[in-house]
Amino acid sequence: MTTTQPSTADRATSADGRPATGPTGTGSTATLVLGVIVLLGGALLAVLGLALTKPDVQLGERMRPIYVHVPTVSAAYLLFVLNAVGSAMWLWRKSRFWDQLAAAAAEVGLVFLGLTLLTGAFWGRITWGVYWDWDARLTSTLVMFLAYLGYVALRGSILDPTTRATRAAVLGLGSALLIPLVHKSVDWWRSYHQGSTLFGELDPSMGGLQLFTLFLGLTVGMALAGWLLIHRFRVGWLTLQVEEGGLTEAIDARRAEAARASDGTSVGAGPAASVRSDEDPS
Amino acid sequence: MSPGLFWVTVTFAAVLSVTRSAALESEPGVNDAPGCRAWRPAALFLGKALAVAAQLLALEVVLALTMAVLYRTPLSGLALGLATMVTATAGIAAVGTLLAALASSTRGRESLVPLLMLPVLAPVLIGATRHRRGARWLRRNRGLALVALLGVFALSYLMLGALAYRPLMEDS
């Protein structure tokens, strides 16, 4: 009787068994270039945001955190939307690519949302006088942070890749329902927090070098998010290859052992025979 | 303070209820039992959510009467209060049933279920405790507006759970 032996080349297959190809390292020339662009853009943003732009007519120097705060929250929103897209695509196509993309987007989005809470706390201290208040926007943002922390915790607590991907996808779609709630919280409830910076009705509105710097911050923030996303995706993909490869190798070894046993050639070969020979005092 | 105490009690009861419910279901062969196989996964999810909601509503009735006596809470606005109770409970049951199913058979599920549930339920709890104050965007019928928001939330999670239960059962 012959059996089809899965080879280790079939690692990281889709859920229906189709082999998948993917990255073999954590970086590439393109990510290196992107990283350099992020560094240069960050340096330019620091010069513009801290030195060259004029202070705000109302907030004065205290408005400068906006060049970091708005980009981090925008990147977090975008990454969580990407997580929802990846989750829906996993449930539809059962492709490991979408699952890994959703996982990477959630983790990087969590980092950016954490930075948003941190920069927001410092900004709150210098404008409102407190680091934290149970304001609608602040509270809903914290709730979203905890929801995606739960997403990451759920992924970490399930060993089987397919079960993990399906359950995380459902949770990712459920958590995405919080995004509009957080975004509209300043309109629906009374809030200290200002309305939308870019597309809202701020008075006075931003313009000139201030607006350019804000858009530069958004561009740098998105590029940094993309750079981190690509690297996290690649690390996740390679980890999955090791996980599934390890399982495949274990199954290969077990099948080979069973084949040797059925052919009567197992005496003196393999771990099982070793145990038996150890037990035999002669 | 009493609405806060009320809903915190209900939430903790919900965590216990859905964790127990999911633990029973994760026993080997339960989903393959003839009684379960006859039902569609969406129906199973809705049935479980309904059972959890019924338990919670029973608890809420007892709790509301006890608090009315102990804390002398006025029972004015009974219709609005009942509507809030029903919609918020539907949301809690839907979220709890879905998230407990996600966390079933995982390492540390007793810690994971509240970690997953509490952030998602935070808008429901805030809405339910503040239904009399209302939201800014509909001043006239502010209580009803929050009940509507709770209803939309519950409906969203009931739909998500009904749609997601099949792939969850297949991949578990």
Residue with tokens 């509270």: A139
Does the beta-carbon distance from B106 to A158 stay under 8 Å?
yes
Interface A-B: count of C-beta contacts within 8 A: 82
Of B108, B116, B156, the CB nearest to A150: B116
Query: Are A147 and B123 a contacting pair, CB within 8 Å?
Result: no
**Residues of A in Cβ contact (< 8 Å) with B153:** 177
B157:A174 CB<8 A: yes
pLDDT grade for A249, boundaries at 50, 70 and 90: confident
**C-beta neighbour count of A180 within 10 angstroms:** 9
Contact criterion met (CB below 8 Å) for B49 and B94: yes
Contact, A121 vs A132, CB < 8 A? yes
> What are the φ and ψ backbone dihedral angles of B28, each rounded to 5 degrees?
-60, 135
B65 min Cα distance to partner chain A (Å): 30
Question: If we measure between CA atoms, which residue out of A89, A78, A35, A2 comes closest to residue A263?
Answer: A2
Return the DSSP state at B77: S
Q: Does B152 score more than 80 pLDDT?
A: yes
CA distance A57 to A16: 60
Q: Cβ contact (<8 Å) for B107 and A157?
A: yes
Using a CB–CB cut-off of 8 Å, the residues of B that contact A are 95, 98-99, 102-103, 106-109, 112, 115-116, 118-120, 122-123, 126, 135-137, 153, 156-157, 160, 164, 167-168, 170-172
Q: Do B120 and A147 touch (CB under 8 A)?
A: yes
Give CA torsion, residues A146, A151, A152, A157, to 10 deg. Answer: 120
Torsion, CA A148, CA A149, CA A152, CA A155, rounded to 10 = -90
- B134: DSSP letter: -
DSSP string, A113-153: HHHHHHHHHHHHHHHTS-S----HHHHHHHHHHHHHHHHHH
A188:B168 CB<8 A: no
The pLDDT of residue B141 = 59
Nearest CA in chain A to B135: A189
Q: pLDDT tens, B93-149?
A: 999 999 998 888 787 778 888 899 998 888 888 877 766 554 444 444 566 777 888
pTM exceeds cut of 0.80: no
Distance CA B55, CA B17 (A): 8
Of the residues A117, A140, A157, the best mutation for testing chain B's interface (the one with the most B CB atoms within 10 Å of its CB) is A157
By residue count, chain B amounts to: 172
Using one digit for the tens of pLDDT, what is the confidence trace for A59-114?
777 788 889 999 999 999 999 999 999 999 999 988 889 999 999 999 999 999 99
Higher pLDDT, B31 or A126: A126
With cut-offs at 50, 70 and 90, classify the pLDDT of residue B12: very high
Q: Which amino acid, A249?
A: E
Q: Would the CB atoms of A174 and B160 count as touching at under 8 Å?
A: yes
DSSP B130: T
Q: Which of A126-140, A250-264, B44-58 has the lowest mean pLDDT?
A: A250-264
Per-residue model confidence as pLDDT tens digits over A108-161: 999 999 999 999 998 888 888 888 888 878 888 999 999 999 999 999 988 888
